Amino acid sequence: MGSLALAQANFSINEFFRQSLVEIAKKERPKECCGIIATYNDTPVAIYQLKNDHPHPRIAWAFSLEEQYSTTIDLKKKNWEVGAIFHSHPSGDAFPSDSDVKNAYYPVPYIIIGFTPRVDIRTFLIIERDFWIALPDSEEGKYLSNKKAI
């Protein structure tokens, strides 16, 4: 992994952020929620929930371009960065779908809130829109990948 990926591999959110994301996802069900975790000096500082503008929001997500733009402006004003992207799988597990991997354009961790078989939240690095690695806080301190053993 390069230095950026190594820095991202240390990304984590505290219990307050975890519970806040679960609450957002529950409120949006049966649609997928989506948004941004803002960071300052690599520390999560805020959650920006964005409108899911995907034509099929029950099975996929896409940021509202207007809200994505205004969020980007707000982050720059505050000297914050996009630290992570989050979305939910209202009727699925907390692992990236093929579509999630293919559409992972931001070089940041991705957080997925799943509801099947139980509420779960996991953090992933999606590498070159090809494969994913689950970060250790996601699975009892173990790295998981869809391509190879880590």
State the catalytic residue, choosing from 15, 32, 81, 140: 32
Residues with Cβ within 8 Å of 5's Cβ and at least 6 positions away in sequence, in order, are 125, 127
Phi, psi for residue 81 in degrees, rounded to 5: -130, 160
The token pair that represents 56 in the structure block: 């099929």
Instruction: Give the H or E element holding residue 108.
Output: none
Q: Is 28 a catalytic residue?
A: no
How far is 149 from 79, CA to CA, in rounded Å?
37
The answer to whether 93 and 114 have CB atoms below 8 angstroms apart is yes
How far is 127 from 131, CA to CA, in rounded Å?
5
Q: Within a 10 A sphere around the Cβ of 31, how many other Cβ atoms?
A: 19
Which positions are catalytic?
A: 32
